[in-house]
């Protein structure tokens, strides 16, 4: 029996390999260096790895190819999303690496394995231990996220899904303060995530049964030639969708989102809110536009209903929240609905609109969560929205920046969110889904209410005497916020360049 080596074009998957390699180096650093030195090595190492990955993505930007035995597709959408994930990963990493905000070190627990309230935990906390395992974990997650939108068959997609999810489950449980809430979040995320992965895998099996292959091209051909049993196809689509809709937190698979966003350390929340959504929607688009495009008349009605439910329920729940992290979590649910309108459009404008939306959404979200890490009282971050009263008086710059991000999320003109909304809504209208545009517009109006309520609180109410304050903003957080604010403004006023790049890139290879 002959063994044929798989053909892999290493240049095309190099960005993913660089990030994975850096993550492994990070593990080695954890093993071989003294605790005090690890932080100084991990931070520059991780950032250098991500920068190198980004440079390579720029170098291969014109690639359109299927490689690694048809399991990975490197094309316009994949590269755009990988680029966005890497840049946002850097922003997220800067927040994760910030150690000047919390008096006891960073946002992460001194000893993750210690039971909350136990003697071991107290000892570790008193010793002011700080850990650095979060850096390789983040890089593993980023590598998974980069592979996810490039995965060209169901098995690779599943592997990518797990590679990105497992580190995130862990990272959610690492919050230094409010340990129980954090561990609860991690457990919920893990259990529900495991279920959704199982659904995905089960669906993949059905699609395999239908088409005789897990490759997207083969599934596509099977649908075009109507080769298999439609029942298998429909069950397969439904189950695979569950797995992916869970990751993008679409209603009714969103229920983990608020708990996890709230419980996870805020830098991790920022990172995962932005990057997971990008990766998952990228995978979503590839599966539905490439693999399942022939069955679009079967899945479009389903996704239309889910998009409407996600928009409507997302904004309604967000209205009732009193914790800013939960509010942003529900707002992220609503945004999934908006992005789904782009996916449902199933035209080129829909794909480019979705890509543009994902990029802009990532930056505004990380920016907003970065501000959340700054507003603190004696016991850590003050996430109750009443703590934001009068922020405009105390720290006008911080309040203005948060307002910018909120206006961007609300989609007010001259911010990137508006251009993005216009892009997805016009694509949906073009495809005949007028109903989605109407719901999109109405829910945007409701969404504006809770974003603006926070702005009102910051600017038009008096600060509480003992309320939280914003200390001097340290360097790395400043860099992350400045990056996000610049992108939000520039893409709002001069979106032309990015729109062109994305327009040119909006073609899947198959």
Partner 1 sequence: MYLSSLLLLPLIGSAVIAALPAGRTLLAKQIALGTSVLTALLGIVMALQFDRTLGTFQFVESHEWITSFGVKYGLGIDGTGLVLILMALILAPIVILASWNEGQGGRFSQKAFFALLLILETFMVGVFAATDVFLFYVFFEAMLIPVYFLIGSFGGPNRSYAAVKFLLYSLLGGLLMLAAVIGLYVLTKSQFGAPTFDVTELGALNIDQNLQRWLFLGFFIAFAIKAPMWPLHTWLPDAASAATPGTAILLIGVLDKVGTYGMIRYCLPLFPEASHYFAPTIVVLAVISIIYGAILAIGQKDLKRLIAFTSISHFGFIVLGIFAMTSTAGAGATLYMFNHGFSTAALFMVAGWMISRRNSSKISDFGGLQRVTPVMAWMFFIAGMSSLALPGLASFISEVLVLVGAYQTYPVAAIISTVAIVLAALYILIVVQRSLHGPIAPGNESLPDLTTRERVAIAPVIAIIIFLGFVPSVLLNVINPTVSHTLMQVNATDPTPTAGE
Q: Which residues bind partner 1 (CB under 8 A)?
A: 352, 392-393, 396, 407, 412-414, 418-419, 421-423, 425-426, 429-430, 437-438, 441-442, 444-445, 448-449, 452-453, 456, 459-461, 495-496, 499-500, 503
We find the least distance from the C-beta atom of residue 438 to partner 1, in angstroms, to be 6
Q: Distance between CA atoms of 289 and 73, rounded to whole angstroms?
A: 13
Q: Which is nearer to partner 1, 204 or 419 (CB)?
A: 419
Q: What is the DSSP letter of 33?
A: S
Q: Which is nearer to partner 1, 147 or 389 (CB)?
A: 389
Exposure on the CB side of residue 394, measured as CA atoms within 13 A? 22
Nearest by Cα to 322 from 453, 217, 444, 164: 453
CA angle 300, 302, 305 (to 5 degrees): 105
We find the least distance from the C-beta atom of residue 399 to partner 1, in angstroms, to be 11
We find the least distance from the C-beta atom of residue 495 to partner 1, in angstroms, to be 6
> Strand, helix or coil at 491?
helix
We find the least distance from the C-beta atom of residue 185 to partner 1, in angstroms, to be 33
CB atoms < 10 A from the CB of 58, how many? 11
Q: Rounded to 5 degrees, what are φ and ψ at 192?
A: -65, -40
> Strand, helix or coil at 384?
strand
Nearest by Cα to 383 from 431, 433, 323, 441: 323
Task: Write down the residue that tokens 């999934």 correspond to.
Answer: 336
Strand partners, 175: 108
Q: Which is nearer to partner 1, 197 or 415 (CB)?
A: 415
Q: Which residues 6+ apart lie within 8 Å of 212 measured at CB?
A: 218, 222, 227, 228
> Strand, helix or coil at 357?
helix
We find the least distance from the C-beta atom of residue 256 to partner 1, in angstroms, to be 30
We find the least distance from the C-beta atom of residue 233 to partner 1, in angstroms, to be 32
Nearest by Cα to 303 from 428, 411, 193, 210: 428
Q: Which is nearer to partner 1, 227 or 499 (CB)?
A: 499
Q: Which is nearer to partner 1, 43 or 423 (CB)?
A: 423
We find the least distance from the C-beta atom of residue 410 to partner 1, in angstroms, to be 8
> Strand, helix or coil at 213?
coil
We find the least distance from the C-beta atom of residue 85 to partner 1, in angstroms, to be 23
Q: Which is nearer to partner 1, 32 or 460 (CB)?
A: 460
Q: What is the DSSP letter of 51?
A: H
Q: Which is nearer to partner 1, 194 or 442 (CB)?
A: 442
Exposure on the CB side of residue 268, measured as CA atoms within 13 A? 30
> Strand, helix or coil at 430?
helix
Q: Which is nearer to partner 1, 32 or 449 (CB)?
A: 449
Task: Answer for the pair 488, 408: CB distance below 8 angstroms, yes or no.
Answer: yes
Task: Answer for the pair 353, 342: CB distance below 8 angstroms, yes or no.
Answer: yes
Nearest by Cα to 341 from 287, 293, 281: 281
Task: Write down the residue that tokens 């390789």 correspond to.
Answer: 136
Q: Which is nearer to partner 1, 272 or 359 (CB)?
A: 359
Q: Which is nearer to partner 1, 177 or 453 (CB)?
A: 453
Q: Which is nearer to partner 1, 206 or 405 (CB)?
A: 405
Residue 260 falls in which region: left (phi positive, over 0), alpha (psi -120 to 50) or beta: alpha
Q: Rounded to 5 degrees, what are φ and ψ at 215?
A: -75, 145
We find the least distance from the C-beta atom of residue 414 to partner 1, in angstroms, to be 5
We find the least distance from the C-beta atom of residue 388 to partner 1, in angstroms, to be 14
């Amino acid at each position: 029996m002959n063994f044929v080596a798989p053909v892999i074009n290493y240049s095309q998957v190099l960005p993913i390999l660089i990030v994975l390699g850096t993550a492994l180096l990070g593990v080695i650093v954890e093993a071989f260096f003294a605790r005090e030195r690890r932080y100084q090595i991990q931070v520059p190492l991780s950032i250098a790895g991500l920068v190198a990955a980004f440079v390579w993505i720029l170098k291969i930007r014109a690639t359109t190819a299927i490689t690694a035995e048809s399991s990975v597709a490197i094309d316009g959408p994949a590269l755009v999303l990988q680029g966005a994930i890497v840049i946002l990963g850097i922003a997220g990493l800067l927040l994760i690496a910030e150690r000047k905000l919390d008096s006891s070190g960073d946002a992460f627990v001194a000893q993750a394995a210690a039971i909350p309230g136990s003697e071991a935990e107290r000892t570790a906390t008193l010793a002011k231990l700080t850990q650095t395992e979060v850096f390789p974990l983040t890089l593993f997650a980023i590598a998974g996220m980069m592979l996810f939108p490039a995965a060209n068959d169901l098995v690779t997609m599943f592997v990518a899904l797990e590679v990105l999810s497992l580190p995130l489950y862990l990272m959610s449980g690492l919050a230094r303060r409010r340990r129980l809430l954090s561990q609860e979040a991690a457990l919920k995320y893990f259990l529900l995530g495991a279920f959704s992965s199982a659904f995905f895998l089960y669906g993949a099996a059905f699609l395999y049964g239908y088409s005789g292959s897990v490759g997207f091209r083969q599934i596509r051909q099977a649908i075009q030639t109507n080769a298999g049993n439609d029942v298998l196809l429909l069950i397969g689509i439904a189950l695979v969708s569950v797995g992916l809709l869970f990751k993008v937190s679409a209603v009714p698979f969103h229920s983990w989102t608020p708990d996890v966003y709230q419980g996870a350390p805020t830098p991790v929340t920022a990172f995962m809110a932005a990057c997971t959504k990008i990766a998952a929607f990228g995978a979503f688009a590839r599966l539905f536009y490439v693999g399942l495009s022939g069955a679009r008349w079967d899945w479009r009605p389903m996704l239309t209903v889910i998009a409407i439910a996600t928009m409507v329920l997302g904004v309604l729940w967000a209205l009732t929240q009193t914790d800013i992290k939960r509010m942003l979590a529900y707002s992220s649910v609503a945004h999934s609905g908006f992005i789904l309108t782009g996916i449902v459009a199933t035209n080129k404008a829909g794909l480019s609109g979705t890509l543009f939306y994902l990029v802009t959404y990532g930056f505004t979200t990380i920016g907003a969560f970065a501000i959340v890490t700054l507003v603190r009282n004696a016991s850590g971050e003050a996430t109750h929205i009443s703590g934001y009263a009068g922020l405009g008086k105390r720290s006008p710059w911080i309040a203005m920046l948060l307002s910018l991000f909120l206006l961007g999320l609300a989609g007010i003109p001259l911010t990137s969110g508006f251009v993005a909304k216009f892009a997805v809504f016009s694509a949906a209208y073009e495809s005949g889904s007028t109903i989605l545009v109407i719901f999109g517009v109405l829910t945007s109006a409701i969404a504006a209410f809770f974003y603006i309520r926070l702005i009102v609180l910051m600017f038009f109410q008096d600060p509480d005497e003992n309320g939280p304050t914003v200390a001097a903003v340290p360097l790395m957080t400043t860099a992350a916020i400045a990056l996000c604010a610049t992108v939000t403004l520039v893409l709002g006023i001069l979106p032309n360049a990015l729109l062109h790049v994305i327009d040119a890139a909006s073609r899947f290879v198959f």
